[in-house]
Structures are given as C-alpha cells and as structure tokens.
Amino acid sequence: MSRFIPVIGLEVHIELATKSKMFCGCSADHFAKEPNTQVCPVCLGLPGALPYANFSAIEQTVMFGLSMNCKINRFSKFDRKHYFYPDLPKGYQISQYDFPFCVKGKFQIPNSKNQIRIRRIHLEEDTAKLVHQFGDSKEKGISLVDFNRSGVPLVEMVTEPEFSDVDSVISFLQEIQLLVRYLGISSADMEKGSMRLEANISLAKAQKSKLQSEDLPNYKVELKNINSFRFLRKALNAEIKRQKRILRKGGKVTQETRGYDEYKNITFSQRIKEEAMDYRYFPEPDIPPIRFSKTQIEDIKSKIPELPAAKRKRLEEKYGISKEYIEILVQDKRRCDYFEKSCEISGNKELSAKSIAGALINQNLDRKFESPYEFIRYLKKISKKYYSSLKEIEDAIQKVLSDNSKAVKDYHEGNSNVIGFLIGQVQKMLKGRGEPKLIRESLIKALQKD
C-alpha cells in the first residue's frame, strides 16, 4: 500500500484591536454591540464616501510581518477585490493583491526543528456580519446583516503548504495566537471571531520520507469555517482519512471547499470551485500607495517586545527552571513578569528561582499577593520558619548532644525514647525553624557516629 504524506497550508485571519476601523472613524470594537450602531457612510458603502487609511493598522501589520521574519515591501498599495455578497456593501473588498505589506517570511514551529515559510501577510477590511435567522415561521429563511464589523482592520497571513502533520499545524497556530497577543495587536479570540482559520490540504504519494516538489499533488481541498483549534484538528484528520480512501481506490479528489460537521465527524462539500475565482482585482484609486522608509521600518521593529520563542530561551538560560514551568509562564505574560520581578526582588541564594516558580505556579500565590514584594516577603518568612539550613541543624545537634551526655548514654544503652527529647532540644535551639524530618535524620546519623 502506498504511503501518503499530507500537504497542508494555512490561511489565518486576525482582526486588529485598533480603536477605529480601517478606513473610517467608527469604533472597531464590535463584539456584542447593538447591530448597525457603529457605522458611517464609508463602512456602509454609501455612494461618494471615501476611505481614509488608519496608520496604526498598517503599523501593526508590519510589526506582525517583522515578527514572522518577513520582508517588508518598501512600496505597497491597496486593491479592490470584487465579489457580490450581502456582507460586502460596495461590491468589493479593499484588500491587497500584488504588493502586500509583508512577503517571504519564515517561522519556527515550537518544539520542532521545522520552519514554515510564510508566503504573505496583507491588510484588508473585514466584512459585515451575517446572522442566519431560522426562528419564527413568519421570518423563516432570511439573513440579517450587521455592519458594525464592516471595515474592521483584518490581517491575513498565508503560509506555504509545508505542514505534513496535524500536530505541527496546531502548535504553529497556537504560537501565532500567543505571538499576536504578545504584540498586543489582537485578542486573537477564536470564539469571538478575532482569529479565524482556514486550511488547504492534499495528499502526496511519497516514495521517500522527504517530499520533493515534483511529488506535490495537483489539487487542494480548502477547509473553511473552522472556529477552534480542536475543530481544526478533527477536521484535518477526517479529511486526510477521506482523501486516503479515495486515492487508494485509484480515484481523484475534487478541488473544492469543504466544511466540517462535528456531530458526524466528517467534512462535507460546500461548493465546487469555479474555474478560478475571478475577483477582478485592480488598484484602489481612492487610496494613494504607501512607501516605507528604512527608518520607518526600523522604528516599527524597535517597538516589538520580547517574543515567546526568545522568552523561552532566556528563561531557561537565566533561571534554569523546568520546561513545564517555562511554558506556563510564557503562556501568561503577566505571570511571567511577576515571576521575574519576584526573582529580582529576592536577589539571593536563599530562595532559588525554582522554588519561587514552584510556589507561584503550584500554589497560585500570585493571586494571593498582588505585589511580588509581598509574595517574596511571605516566601522568606515561611522558608525561615520551616527550613533552617542543614548546617544550622547540624550545629544545633552537636551542641545539644554535648549538653545532654546522659541522654546520649541512655540512647546507646537501648533507650530510643530519648530521641524525642533530643529533637525537642534541637528544635528549641532553632527557635522552631527546623524541619522535623531533617532534624530526626541528622540526629540519628550523629548519634550513630558517636
């Protein structure tokens, strides 16, 4: 039986968290707002309205591109992409065609040696939101349109089809979500639709384990309307299974768009792809092109904070804490900052980074103490209370043994009851800060040496 290797590419849409929309001054914060209350002639597509580009959105797109190791096009422009649909009031979407802001990036999949090449990252406007109404019989079979989302800045990232397993797809996407949150350019919340996923997938017949370009299949199936990582994983697995079945029987897989039915755990055809989608792109005449200077790009680059991959590496080198701890901290930037501040405050060997991370993560002490100062003060207090150092314990034992020669003699004559008494004496000397188990072990060791 021939072996098949999945060939998967991704399209990711991310809504930017700017204050205003892409081409007008309406609020871009549209989630759960009264319908059609954040609209104006521009985003309703009324005749004569003119788009006026939001610079923050452009800057954030470039920042994202730089973080994905893309080349930034020094010359760029917007184009009109035409299609008819009720969520698109002008009959075209302002997008970017041949000069997107960012091209030719590459991005490391976390915990993997593989890099994925990024084909392009461009900026466009989001469409209106369609609500399908099933409800009462009178209004059956209508769709409702809310233009609050129309014109919200939307970034689209397209990867090369270089994923060959579903796990890599998911960890790549989770890392993108984290990165976007680090950059502070989007909440990347899939439930709210501020991050949306599409995958294209085909199967290559593989002779060797590594794919050659001539092995690439001549079709692709697009999976759309996927709204969680979990769904995407299931949809990809179901689709790989379906394509394998067809190809093993010697069949041909139709190039088309498919959705995913979670109840049946199968993908289903949404439409057969027409010739090629004919979007009749042309340059947007109402928005002058964009030219970036080198300094401008450097300037944007300087605003990029430490990103997750660099943070993981640094935490490991600087603190030597476990991979599990590192991951928990990297996933929660606020918590990580708290941890680092705590280590800085503690600043001595008494509290190791490991014990600080442990107390923070396992006991959620960052929730109990708002300030890292209080947290460290508390840690120092309990560490003193319960844990005198081994040296302190041994010194105390020596002193107690020489002060209580009668008890020591009793012990050697077989009266082990005196141990309790001796432990009490040691603890008294340590002002109750000794760990009982450690005192007992050290004491017995010392007695047997005696």
Partner 1 sequence: MVGITKDQVKHISRLSKLSLSKDEVNKFQKQLGEIVEYVRTLELVKLNDTAPTSQTTELTNVYRNDLIGVDGLDQKSALSGTEEVYNGYFKVPSIFKKV
Residue 261 interacts with partner 1 (CB under 8 A): yes or no: no
Task: Give residues with Cβ within 8 angstroms of 58, minimum separation 6.
Answer: 101, 123, 290
Of 23-31, 190-198, 242-250, 348-356, the window that binds partner 1 (rule: CB under 8 A) is 23-31
User: Which lies closer to partner 1 via its Cβ, residue 18 or residue 388?
Assistant: 18
The secondary structure of residue 32, as a DSSP letter, is T
Of 24-32, 192-200, 364-372, 439-447, the window that binds partner 1 (rule: CB under 8 A) is 24-32
Tell me how far, at minimum, the Cβ of 89 lies from Zn ion, in Å: 11
User: Which lies closer to partner 1 via its Cβ, residue 34 or residue 317?
Assistant: 34
Tell me how far, at minimum, the Cβ of 278 lies from partner 1, in Å: 6
Q: How many Cα atoms are found within 13 Å in the side-chain-facing hemisphere of 74?
A: 4
**Other beta carbons within 10 Å of 106:** 14
Which of helix, strand or coil describes residue 390? helix
The site that binds partner 1 (CB under 8 A) totals a number of residues, namely: 53
Per-residue interface string for the shown chain with partner 1, residues 281-320, x marking contact by CB under 8 A: --x-x-xxxxx-----------------------------
Tell me how far, at minimum, the Cβ of 124 lies from partner 1, in Å: 16
Q: Which of 53, 123, 39, 45 is nearest to 84 (CA)?
A: 45
- Residue 113, both tokens: 């040696």
Of 48-56, 157-165, 376-384, 409-417, the window that binds partner 1 (rule: CB under 8 A) is 48-56
User: Which lies closer to partner 1 via its Cβ, residue 224 or residue 433?
Assistant: 224
Which residues ranging from 52 to 81 are in contact with partner 1 (CB under 8 A)? 52-58, 77
Residue 50 interacts with partner 1 (CB under 8 A): yes or no: no
Which residues ranging from 347 to 386 are in contact with partner 1 (CB under 8 A)? none
Residue 373, contacted partner among partner 1, Zn ion, none, CB below 5-8 A by kind? none
**CA atoms of 120 and 277, how far apart (whole Å):** 19
Residue 35 interacts with partner 1 (CB under 8 A): yes or no: yes
Q: Residues 195, 227, 19, CA angle at the centre, nearest 5°?
A: 25
φ, ψ for residue 87 (rounded to 5)?
Answer: -85, 5
Task: Give residues with Cβ within 8 angstroms of 178, minimum separation 6.
Answer: 308, 330, 331
**CA atoms of 305 and 126, how far apart (whole Å):** 27
Residue 270 interacts with partner 1 (CB under 8 A): yes or no: yes
Angle between helices 323-331 and 308-319 in degrees, nearest 10: 140
User: Which lies closer to partner 1 via its Cβ, residue 43 or residue 397?
Assistant: 43
Which residues ranging from 120 to 159 are in contact with partner 1 (CB under 8 A)? 130-133, 139, 141-147
Q: Which of 39, 42, 52 is nearest to 78 (CA)?
A: 52
> Could you say which of 5, 8, 10, 26 contacts partner 1 (CB under 8 A)?
26
> Could you say which of 8, 15, 38, 376 contacts partner 1 (CB under 8 A)?
38
Bridge partners, 14 (sequence order): 155, 195
Exposure string of 251-264, with b = 16+ CB inside 10 Å and e = fewer, is eebeeebbebeeee
> Which residues make up the interface to partner 1 (CB under 8 A)?
18-20, 24-27, 34-41, 44, 46, 52-58, 77, 82-86, 130-133, 139, 141-147, 270-271, 278, 280, 283, 285, 287-291
